[in-house]
Amino acid sequence: MSGLADPSSAGEPSGSSAKPSRRVAYYYDQDVGNYTYYLGHPMKPHRIRMAHNLIVNYGLTDEVEEDAPDLEGEGKREMNDDLPGLAPEHKFVKNSLTGSRSKHMQVFRPHRATKAQMTRFHTDEYIEFLENVTPETAEAMTGGGVRCLIGEDCPAFDGLFEFCSISAGGSLGGAERLNSGAADIAINWAGGLHHAKKTEASGFCYVNDIVLGILELLRIHPRVLYIDVDVHHGDGVEEAFYTTDRVMTCSFHRFGEFFPGTGDVRDVGMKRGKGYAVNVPLRDGITDESYHTIFKPVIQHIMDYFRPGAVILQMGADSLSGDKLGGFNLTLDGHGECTKFVKSFGVPVMMLGGGGYTTKNVARAWTNETAVMCGKTLPEDLPYNQYMEYYGPRYKLEVLPNNTDDHNAPEYLDKIRTQVIENLRNLPHAPSAQMRQIPSQTISQAIGLTKENDQIDPDDEIEIRLKKFMQDKQLNGGYTPHESDDEDVPMNGDLDYDDSAYSIPGRHRRQGLNGLPRRALPSRIINGNKRNNTLNGQFEDEDDEEDPCGVGRKKKRSFFSNKHAKNGVQGLVNKKLNGLNALTVGNGGIVEFWKENGSINGGGGGGVSRGESPMSVV
């Protein structure tokens, strides 16, 4: 960090410690464009596929010829320096191990995030909910839309969990590659979902891949900086790190009667994290010139005072001119200038997507910013691509400003900038953090060449999942007879009726109870009801919550019930979950509504959510 580049440079890092080129790792999963929230929803994952198609047709992912004469010829990988001590004739072996042999950047298909990885931030119950919810069961599992998926912004659509695993997997993969030192810049346009909370989806975001990526970066770097240029405030990331000084969050967003309604300049963090949340509230219609009169000074002071070891840059394209939900007036050059300025400091950067609801402009912006990170200037005329008809009638790599009035007066911007910089000056210079030795890894894993599950063929994943499913079913299914049991005990899976005596909880089924043989408990008919003997000589009904072993242990219950109560949703919410009474819809907490006049009150009022649909905020 001692050789920070002069921010006034044109974009390439300068100085004694700056590298002549930056190694770029680009993450893309071809399945990400297959998902849709619902017809007419403003968030369209298809935009990521459009951006990738434009990036490919601009030649940023072209492969190197294998018959390239030498390192100085056409085959030289300008963005990926050769490993020390590697003979020139072995360079293509190295390229094949570290990603697609691109002239400008390495291209990877990320490993999809697992539930265990997602629960580094989110709760187990919430991730389990995302895996199991479907459009048909959403009403019952959310208690009528008051839990986990609130309002219409975040619907339960087919393939929801897979979509979240792709988004989170790309950000985790990029963070791991930056940590290993195998790349200087990582790009994941499927990420940047900054509104998701620990136990709740919000603002089109279900799993907060940004928080997961930051947590991974904190394993290596003492301090991480998060910069958000989305038109909406990055409330989910700020909330996650609001009380720590190891992560500084800086958000430039539209403020006022606008989703999510947070991000005042006076919100600076609390406790140990006081001063490490930077918010720059802006007004409608801000232009390139006005935007950078506050963006560059604030980022410059943060880099000087905080001295981060890595930066996560959220490049939401809804701050561009002409966006369907945004209200800013930035052009393609003004938006890309943020990328160029952050890159100029020479710090490892992970660049993510985010918002953006005019798909053709989103594809243009992310293609241009990918080229900026690769150090390339793209021609203005668009190359032929699969979605050429989207870019008419000019077919140019441009986003032009409109005639919207700029409500950000110079006096207002000066006041905000002065207050933010004053808050930064009160911070201790570059706070330290105790670092410990990371868990041991193999050499290939340490430098980012391989991972533990690289040997698994993606085509075999379905077979592995089916095999695991069958094993779990055999383990958790019916009773497995013991060799000392009577011969007339039915075999596992061949029961003639559903008897809870043959569904003893897993620990008792596998090990027996206190060393006793694993035997089926005989059933008796008493007063017309089937009862099972317990080990202490008592009888328990099958429907009782006590287990059939009579040890007072409750049955394992899932977080959400899969049975409808007799009284509908109200009865469902009143059911006991994990032994606790859930709050009812009628008397559970205070429901706040966004009014048209911007106030928050318990009364009515027709407010709008991020998707311009009525909703309440709990």
Task: Tell whether the model's pLDDT for residue 505 goes beyond 80.
Answer: no
Task: Tell whether the model's pLDDT for residue 491 goes beyond 80.
Answer: no
Give the pLDDT band (50/70/90) at residue 575: very low
Give dist(CA 251, CA 280) in Å, integer: 6
Q: Where are the domains of the chain?
A: 24-63+101-426
* pLDDT confidence of residue 96: 40
**DSSP character at residue 102:** B
The more confidently predicted of residues 246 and 499 is: 246
Percent of the chain with pLDDT over 90: 51
What are 594's two structure tokens? 């966004």
Geometric angle at alpha carbon 437, from 435 and 442, rounded to 5°: 145
Q: Which residue has 């945004």 as its token pair?
A: 326
Statement: the pTM of the whole predicted model exceeds 0.75 = no
The burial of 142, by beta-carbon neighbours within 10 Å (0-12 exposed, 13-18 middle, 19 or more buried), is given as buried
Say what angle helices 160-180 and 124-132 make with each other, to 10 degrees.
130
Average pLDDT over residues 259-272: 91
- 352 strand-pairing partners: 188, 314
Say what angle helices 288-306 and 410-425 make with each other, to 10 degrees.
10
- Going by C-alpha positions, the residue among 171, 218, 153 that lies closest to residue 608 is 153
Give dist(CA 153, CA 150) in Å, integer: 8
Give dist(CA 198, CA 181) in Å, integer: 30
* pLDDT confidence of residue 367: 96
* pLDDT confidence of residue 247: 95
**DSSP character at residue 330:** B
- Going by C-alpha positions, the residue among 353, 363, 352, 355 that lies closest to residue 398 is 363
Give the pLDDT band (50/70/90) at residue 475: low
Q: What tens digit of pLDDT does each residue of 543-557 get?
A: 444 444 444 444 333
Least confident of 299-303, 305-309, 608-612: 608-612
Task: Tell whether the model's pLDDT for residue 456 goes beyond 60.
Answer: no
* pLDDT confidence of residue 450: 60
The more confidently predicted of residues 613 and 300 is: 300
Task: Tell whether the model's pLDDT for residue 597 goes beyond 60.
Answer: no
The more confidently predicted of residues 468 and 424 is: 424
What are 13's two structure tokens? 């890092």
Q: What tens digit of pLDDT does each residue of 312-348 get?
A: 999 999 999 999 999 899 999 999 999 999 999 999 9
- Going by C-alpha positions, the residue among 179, 172, 180, 175 that lies closest to residue 97 is 180
Percent of the chain with pLDDT over 70: 61
Geometric angle at alpha carbon 331, from 189 and 609, rounded to 5°: 65
* pLDDT confidence of residue 147: 82
What are 99's two structure tokens? 């990603």
* pLDDT confidence of residue 249: 96
Average pLDDT over residues 353-379: 94
Task: Return the CATH superfamily for domain 24-63+101-426.
Answer: Histone deacetylase domain (3.40.800.20)
Alpha helices, H only, 41-154: 46-57, 91-97, 115-118, 124-132, 138-141
Q: Active-site residue 221, yes or no?
A: no
Q: What tens digit of pLDDT does each residue of 208-253 get?
A: 999 999 999 999 999 999 999 999 999 999 999 999 999 999 999 9
What are 595's two structure tokens? 């009014």
Task: Tell whether the model's pLDDT for residue 277 goes beyond 70.
Answer: yes
* pLDDT confidence of residue 397: 95
Give the pLDDT band (50/70/90) at residue 143: confident
Q: Which of 195, 232, 233, 253 is catalytic?
A: 195
* pLDDT confidence of residue 320: 95
**What is the DSSP track for 342-353?**
HHTT---EEEE-
* pLDDT confidence of residue 95: 45
Phi-psi category of residue 312: left, alpha or beta, with phi > 0 → left and psi -120 to 50 → alpha: beta
Give the pLDDT band (50/70/90) at residue 365: very high
Give dist(CA 566, CA 353) in Å, integer: 45
Average pLDDT over residues 98-120: 82
Give dist(CA 300, CA 341) in Å, integer: 9
* pLDDT confidence of residue 339: 96
What are 484's two structure tokens? 């000392």
Q: What is the mean pLDDT of the chain?
A: 74
Task: Tell whether the model's pLDDT for residue 199 goes beyond 70.
Answer: yes
Average pLDDT over residues 245-266: 92
Geometric angle at alpha carbon 238, from 236 and 240, rounded to 5°: 70
Least confident of 62-66, 280-284, 485-489, 500-504: 500-504
* pLDDT confidence of residue 503: 39
Task: Tell whether the model's pLDDT for residue 382 goes beyond 70.
Answer: yes
C-alpha Rg value of the chain to the nearest Å: 28
Furthest-apart CA atoms within the chain: distance in Å: 91
